[in-house]
Structure 1
Amino acid sequence: MRRPPLQTLIALVLTAVWGAGLGIAHLRGDIPFIDGAEATLTNLRNVLGGSRQPPDVVTIVAIDDEASRQAGHYPLPRATLAKVIDAIAALKPKAIGLDMLLVDPGAEADDAALAQSLRQTNAVLAVAGIFPESRQRVADDNKEPLTRIPSALQFLEPQQRFAQAAANGVVNVQTDKTGTPRFVPMLFRSGERIEPSFSLRVASAATGEAATVISDHIKLGDRVVHTDTGYLMPLSFYGPRGTIRTIGASAALTGQLPEEAIRDHIVVIGATVTGGGDVFPTPFDPVLPGVEVISTSITHLIAGDGLVRDRNARLIDLGFATGLPVVLVGLLAWRRNTIGLIVALCVVLAWLSININAFKHGIWLSAAVPIAAAMPPALLFGAAQLWLGRKQARHFAQQSELLQRIQAPGLAEHLARDPGFLAEPVRQEAAVVFIDLNGFTGLSEAIGPTAVRELLNGFYDLVDEEVTACGGAITSFMGDGAMILFGLPQPKDDDAANAACCCIHLADRMRGWFGTLPDTIASRIGFKIGAHFGTVVASRLGVHSRQQITATGDTVNVASRLMEVAARSNAEIAFSNDLLQSAGRDSEPYTEGKLDGPIEASLRGRAGSLAVWLWRSRA
């Protein structure tokens, strides 16, 4: 049975509304209850993609344990930091970024030396934003793009002498629920003041190109920087720590900096010292130094190899969030069997392949949003299908039980396996048996309808049990009689023998049943049985909405008339000679009574006579 079209349409509409709602919410920004799943799935896609070689753009000069040991303590004295900067500047880098906060004053001489070193090179200093919560969310409810950028309570800026000697940029990154740095905001706000990020300022200083803010992206010179909502640039990590070339600051202090790693490169100075605290978990490394996170974002800006997650990518997510669940629910409504599940699985695998390949090629399509859009409708619809399927199964079981009551069990089972059974008439050999109650019409007038019903039910149960045991099929109950066929659903060699055996067992059961009835009833009724073997036409009779399996032909008429022969001969059963020849007259059942014949008997409505055998019980 197919699901009613209206019910399917309602399910599809509700599914589309749910998916579109999630997609639109995702289009306006990240969805809190989905963020954790998206973070995990993004890390998984990063790992599946594997580590890769970063473009030769940035070199990290790390203030590591060795540099701290040489300097005598950490943080480095600012005079020592000035020496590191001078050594780097001598090799002509494109720009130097200091991923460290210089907010507190130091020794006057040391601060003066550092300021002098900064003035003599193209340097950018770090500014830190303090936010009211650990993770900034961006609303898309204002048409003015700049109102969507992360808003800080205040900025922690370098000492004024350092700020005047170099450019400044905000160094904060945005982490997801797993603590992984997922975005680097390109712009920050504090009150009416807007500041560029450290990464954007370093890239601009290195290229000599100004950054331009457009309504939905940023341009660095002629190059487009694809950003997400709120001018967030997604991060795509290259690998574990050290994947971006890292040189210890002690090499600068000892004059051992490799020129090829510094000249025409962007150099980022940052701390990797043990216990420094500036580390982040990433898909490739649980403690990736913050300076490498920043260096990754700078590399993305210069090389253009980062992830693209902009409004267009989110529009694609909206399409998948709406379309995927609708397709899955449609497939489940179309096919509820293995084929439907396989096709649905193929659709999911196709979407998964698109998603992973897009990520591999630098396009970040959401994995969690389509899953969240598809799973609840598919599971609810599937559960509803299971419930309806069980309900239908119960309905079919009840119909089958009713069919078993109306048709013989063998015929009902055969019809279930072969719905076309006897759709066309079939000529075949079969044994036909009729049984009828004598005197029933007069009795029914005397005992009333309730007692008649109980009497007939007892008669029907008795006949059904014996016919089923002998392998016959009751084609119909006709008031106080029944027509029985031996030869359906397929003719067998022992059909005649089974029919003869059934007749004698029925006679025995009928006598026993009469003995259980009140004398007022048993004394007024009797029974007669007629049985014949020959050619019948088995078919379905009736219209399309109501059909009955039966047999027609002269063999059926003869079997029916043989009951009259039995009645007028004071016998219980009248067998045709044709049936006994096919069944054999020497079998054991006949010994239970007296078999007389053959006699020539005339049949009502039929010319000539027929050889008949009469059977009476010895009782």
Structure 2
Amino acid sequence: MAAHGLLHRGARVMRDAGRGRLAGTALLLLLALFIAGWDWDKPLGGAGSQREIPTADAERGLYDWRAAAFAPRVEQDKRVLMVVYDDQTLIATRKRSPLDRGLLARALRNLDSMGAKSIGIDILFDQPQDEDGQLLSALHAMRTPVWLGYANFGDNREQIIFEQQQYLDRFLAQARTDRVRPASIRLETDSDNVARSWPVPVAGQPPLLSLAMQPSRAFARYRGAIQYRMPRAQADGSEEPVIPSLQIDLIADPSMAAALAPMVRGRHVLIGGDIVDIDQFETPLSGRQAKSTMIGLEVHATMLAQLLDGALLPAVPGWALWLAAALIVLAAALTSLADLRWFWLVPALGFQAGAIAGLPLWLQASGWDTKGLPAAGWALGWVIAFAAVSAAARAVNSQQRRFAQAALGKYLPRDIAAQILAEPEKLALHGEKRPIFTLFTDLEGFTKLSHAIAPEMVAQLLNRYLDMLSDVVLAHGGTIDKFVGDAVVAFWGAPIAREDDGRNAALAAYAMWQAGERFRQDLPPGVPPIGRTRVGLHHGDAIVGNFGGEGRIQYTALGDSMNTAARLEAANKPLETSVLVSREAVERSTLDWWRPMGRVRLRGRATPVDLFEPVPDFPVEDRDLLRAALAAFDDENADKRTEALASLKAVARKYPDDAGLANLVYRYEYIGDGGIYGLG
């Protein structure tokens, strides 16, 4: 049923939204799908383009947070060693950059003797030094595999110029042996200078330094995230660097070789600089570590350690990203379209928010590469889809609400119509027993008149008459049940009951008679005279609700209360009155303008009804005389009933033109002792 209702609501929104609004909503949904499904790591416009999706910065920040929060915490890595030279080394050797090659030659000889597994040199030999001969000699004598740093002028114009490229190529050609070969030291960063991914190999260049030192067929095509690691806290709370390092001065010192050999033997050794403002990279861990940048040498060492671990992080397939995006957009659209009550909406929103926020975290913690995962795009796509469908639905609902309120406003007071629209369950398809004030009217002689004038005039007069009476009902807070020809049926107390319903119903009964009098006095020329408007009002229980089925319903009241009100209206004709109200309604009206009109047995009813008529201008003392006289007719004493009849005649003589009073006297003369006047 819920799915059927959702489909029905969706079909209604599509039907009533209009082409323009539907097109705009569709475009927004496509935008939401694109933002939620696009891999932010890929530039817009294909390879070579620098344009990024708007959420790229947010995605980078979220990824860095995930990568740092779930970074593996490890002991110090015993497989890799960094040998670094820093600013103090350069000062001591009186060479700013590059490193003194005589010092490097001595370090290489010692490393070779210490049993290093392989050596990678993150230094570009792109300009001559006096010690080049020493370095070449040391390289030619190496038994340990050595990989010399290589960069290409075409890919690194900011770091190397053409002349440097020429010298580098000549030097590498002179140094090359079976054990000494070039390796690319190229690293890639995103536009915010953060190194997150393995660099893409360039055709025609030597292998990446880490892949050269530890060849791996699986990693040869890997383009995913670099798995940075965090140090595990020791028992005393201290932390050791994940990648250990030694100063090149110590390695180059022959007297230290024996002591340092255990730290070198069997390890991959990377040699490079730790120079201020040179070869420094931000990483996803930058916000979690005291030092905000990482030297390029450590980035290479981290990639080498990832390769040694076999940590080939699987990426979420593109089709899965688009499927997730479609589900997110669909969930947002359906949630918006469902128009849930708050106690259902809050859990639904909580579940979806938890899924959108939690899935990237779960994937990262499970060892997936979430670098291209559009986490912010999911959230933004959901918001756009929800807002787009919600705006369309609200526009349609507003349009329908205005139409419904205008339609309801023809039958209900505005405040009740507004409350019904806010709480439509008040008009649910069921009935309930409620005490209501029921009012019936009839226009005397209109049926006969309709045969004497043109149909167009009949329609004009009838519409005008019904409008006048409807305005009276609505102005007094009543609900219009139906029109039956020239008759109006209305009630108070449903669908919403109010404390002043009795007073309003009584005032409306009298005002409707007044409206009828104004109508009959303001007829177009040539229209025969029209009779009085007769009104009957009663209070009693009725079954109130929507009846008729799902396809065709009517909000109405059924039951004895309705029948009694109809009989009261009909009783006006034989009793020569215009407005008759039952005692049940009079006692709840809080008004004091009633004069009693006796007790009668209505047509088709077994129980007698005490009748009252609203007469605001009737003197209070005469109302009291009538009340006392009619009460005396219930007394068994014949003399008192005789006196009561005399009192009735005395009051009637004061108002010789009051047909209702004359009829009252007649009835009590006719019924005789202890009888009740019955209407056939």
Q: Same fold (TM over 0.5)?
A: yes
Match in the other structure for 1:124? 146
Q: 1:263 to 1:578 in 2, by over 3 A?
A: closer
Q: Check whether the contact 2:84–2:274 (CA below 8 A) recurs between aligned residues.
A: yes
Match of 1:502 among 492, 505, 508: 508
2:477 and 2:570 mapped to 1: Cα distance? 25
Residue from 269, 272, 279 that aligns with 1:270: 272
Equivalent in 90, 102, 125 of residue 125 of structure 2? 102
Deviation at 1:407, TM superposition (A): 5.1
> Partner of 2:235 in structure 1?
none
Aligned partners of 1:170, 1:492: CA distance in 2, in Å?
86
Helix, strand or coil at the partner of 1:47: helix
Partner of 2:174: 161
1:180-191 paired onto structure 2 within 5 Å: 180-184=194-198, 188-190=202-204
Q: Which amino acid aligns with 2:351?
A: V
TM-score (norm 1): 0.74
Query: In the aligned structure 2, how far is the partner of 1:454 from the partner of 1:154?
Result: 105
Q: Residues 521 and 134 of structure 1: is their aligned pair in 2 closer, same or farther, counting only changes over 3 Å?
A: farther
- SS of the counterpart of 2:482? strand
Report the Cα distance in structure 2 between the residues aligned to 1:102 and 1:490, rounded to whole angstroms.
91
Q: How far has the Cα of 1:39 moved from its partner? A: 4.7
Q: Distance in 1 between matches of 2:207 and 2:99?
A: 27
Work out the number of aligned pairs and report it: 559
Cα distance in 1 for residues equivalent to 2:540 and 2:279: 100
Name which of 219, 222, 226 aligns with 1:226. 219
Aligned to 1:172, the other structure's residue is in SS state coil
Confirm or deny: 8 A CA contact 1:325 1:375 kept in the other structure: no
5 Å-filtered alignment, 1:13-28, equals none
Higher strand share: 1
SS at match of 2:536: strand
Q: Which residue of 1 aligns with 2:250?
A: 251
**62-71 or 608-617: bigger deviation:** 608-617
Q: Report how far residue 383 of structure 1 moved.
A: 0.4
The structure 1 residue matched to 2:83, chosen from 61, 64, 78, is 61
The match for 2:228 among 225, 237, 241 is: 237
Residue 290 of structure 2 corresponds to residue 296 of structure 1: no
State which drifts further: 152-161 or 451-460.
Answer: 152-161
- Deviations for 1:287-306, whole angstroms, at most 9, x for unmatched residues? 422222222233333x3165
Q: 1:383 to 1:156 in 2, by over 3 A?
A: farther
Matched, 1:341 2:340: no
CA distance in 1, matches of 2:304, 2:66: 22
- The answer (yes or no) to whether the contact 2:568–2:580 under 8 Å persists in 1 is yes
Aligned partners of 1:430 and 1:534 also within 8 Å: yes
Equivalences for residues 301-312 of structure 1 within 5 A: 301=307, 303-304=308-309, 306=311, 308-309=312-313
Secondary structure of the 2:119 match is: strand
- 1:154 to partner: Cα distance: 12
Letter in 1 for 2:95: H
8 Å CA contact 1:435, 1:529 repeated in 2:
yes
Q: How far is 1:369 from its partner?
A: 4.7
Coordinate RMSD, CA, aligned? 4.6
Whole-Å separation in 2 of the counterparts to 1:160 and 1:343: 63
Deviations 1:476-508 (A, max 9, x none): 222222123345347889866654443233334
> Unaligned regions of 5+ residues in structure 1, if any?
136-151, 204-210, 212-217, 220-224
Instruction: Tell me the alpha carbon deviations over residues 68-91 of structure 1, each in whole angstroms, 9 at most, x when there is no partner.
Output: 222122334433332233344443
Q: CA distance change for structure 1 residues 39 and 508 in 2, over 3 Å: closer, same or farther? A: closer
Q: Match of 1:355, as an amino acid? A: L
- In structure 2, give the amino acid aligned to 1:200: L
- Matches of 2:60 and 2:457, distance apart in 1: 78
AA at the equivalent of 1:177: S
Q: 1:245 to 1:199 in 2, by over 3 A?
A: same
**Alignment check: 8 A CA contact 2:360 2:373 kept:** no
Q: Match of 1:113, as an amino acid?
A: Q
Q: TM-score, length-normalised on structure 2?
A: 0.68
Structure 2's unaligned 5+ residue stretches are 15-21, 158-164, 232-239, 619-680
Q: CA deviation at 1:474?
A: 2.8
Within a 5 Å distance, the mapping from 1:27-176 to structure 2 comes to 33=51, 36-37=56-57, 39-49=60-70, 53-74=75-96, 75-107=98-130, 110-121=131-142, 122-130=144-152, 132-133=154-155, 156=169, 158-164=171-177, 166-176=180-190
- Whether contact under 8 Å (1:185, 1:232) holds in the other structure is yes
Q: Quick one: distance in 1 between partners of 2:537 and 2:148?
A: 109
In the alignment, structure 1 residue 280 sits paired with structure 2 residue 281 = yes
Aligned to 2:399: 394
Code of the aligned partner of 1:48: A
CA gap of 1:111–1:357, structure 2 versus 1, over 3 A, is same
Q: 1:62 Cα deviation (Å)?
A: 1.7
Once residues 519 and 473 of structure 1 are traced to their aligned partners in structure 2, the CA distance between those partners, rounded to angstroms, is 34
Q: Partner letter of residue 47 of structure 1?
A: A
- Select which of 513, 526, 529 maps to 2:535: 529
